[in-house]
Homo-oligomer: A and B are copies of this chain.
Amino acid sequence: MSVTFAKGFVASGVACGLKASGNKDLALVVNQGPLAAAAAVFTSNRCQANPVIWSKQAISDLQARAIVLNSGGANCYTGSLGFQTTHQTAELVAELLSISAQDVQVCSTGLIGEQLDREKLFAGVRQAYAALDSDGGRSSAEAIMTTDKVPKLAERQSKSGWRVGGMAKGAGMLAPSLATMLVVITTDAAVEGSLLDAALRKATRLSFDRLDSDGATSTNDQVTLMASGASGIVPETEEFQELLTQVCLDLAEQLMNDAEGASHNIYIEVSGAATEEDAVEVGRAVARNNLFKAAVYGNDPNWGRILAAVGTTSAQFDPYDIDVSINGLLVSSKGAPAADRKTVDLTPRKVSIGINLKAGEHAATILTNDLTVAYVQENSAYSS
């Protein structure tokens, strides 16, 4: 399942002591081929972690045979010592698999500004190599969890038999701009690197890029797609795009569902936009408005806060001709109330906010969460 659902992949997840809890903290995923095609998108944050710096350069040839991921430390802002740790991790994986270090992707997640314990890390890599298994998908997904309560897994199979599977971690700092969190997607379809790259960029634009749990963009985000070609099938481009996007959306919704302290999953559905960019800008502005998010937490249909957020954007609209609905009920229209706010029921976990800008035909849905007491409590004590 997960990354081992597609043929040609083995994976493992082990505990090597990077996490004080003793939980699994190191995952390894290996592509056994015949293809070694790969593509990745990375965080748009300019302050990037050492594994991001390494992986970005290593995948520039659109080839990768293995990806090693650790939780228990972000290896970010750890200086040249931290970069050497990443480099040596890739070298060790390469040595064990008899491949080039350039074909090894490295990801890390956890607290910024602390060195990883190399002894534990390298012992973990050897342990993970020994544990590689064609059924190791779930175990590897467990090993990349930080504040996640559940592992995130997704799978799709095409009619002709090729498969796509993936895993993700992430529960906070979820506001990717180009990529997001740590995600590994595998496929046994026979797809070359440049096509993988294009398909991955399109899929992430429509999925992870529209998830904005808390407005905070990580230093370590990476979404990696690897193709083994083990099915022997060259997929039809449109179907490949469709199933890949479905896996990404599935994982994005699982991330939203497990976001730190959240009590509501909010779908901000912007329609009538002049451009897709306008729809995304408006949705994201609402998703980042703390007052709106706190109101949803309190089951308070305070729709004025939605309009106050829309009004901060540069999207095309007439401020006094916007329709706002909550869970399908029109609450404001033409700059005035349209329904008694007391008739809105916000108690279910799923909330849909409709915003019709009446300026065009484009639409986008942004996924976010409410701002809760538990979110603040959890994030006020992360490093302590």
Contact = CB atoms under 8 A, between A and B. Distances in A.
Interface of A: 44-48, 74, 76-82, 111-114, 172-173, 177, 214-219, 288-291, 294-295, 297-298, 300-305, 307-313, 319, 322, 331-332, 334-337, 341, 371-373, 375-377, 379-384
Given A79-B337, A216-B291, 17 more contacts: A44-B312, A45-B308, A45-B311, A46-B310, A47-B307, A47-B311, A47-B322, A77-B337, A82-B336, A112-B304, A173-B308, A177-B312, A215-B288, A218-B308, A294-B375, A298-B384, A373-B377
Contact of A332 (B113, B295, B303): B113
B336 A78 contact: yes
21 contacts: A46-B310, A46-B311, A46-B313, A79-B334, A79-B337, A112-B303, A113-B341, A177-B312, A294-B380, A295-B380, A295-B383, A297-B376, A298-B381, A298-B384, A300-B380, A301-B383, A302-B382, A302-B383, A373-B373, A373-B376, A375-B376
Max chain B C-beta neighbours (<10 A), residue from A301, A309, A376: A376
B77 A312 contact: no
B47 A291 contact: no
* Copies of this protein in the complex: 2
Given A45-B312, A47-B319, A335 B214 contact: no
A interface SS class: loop
B371 A113 contact: no
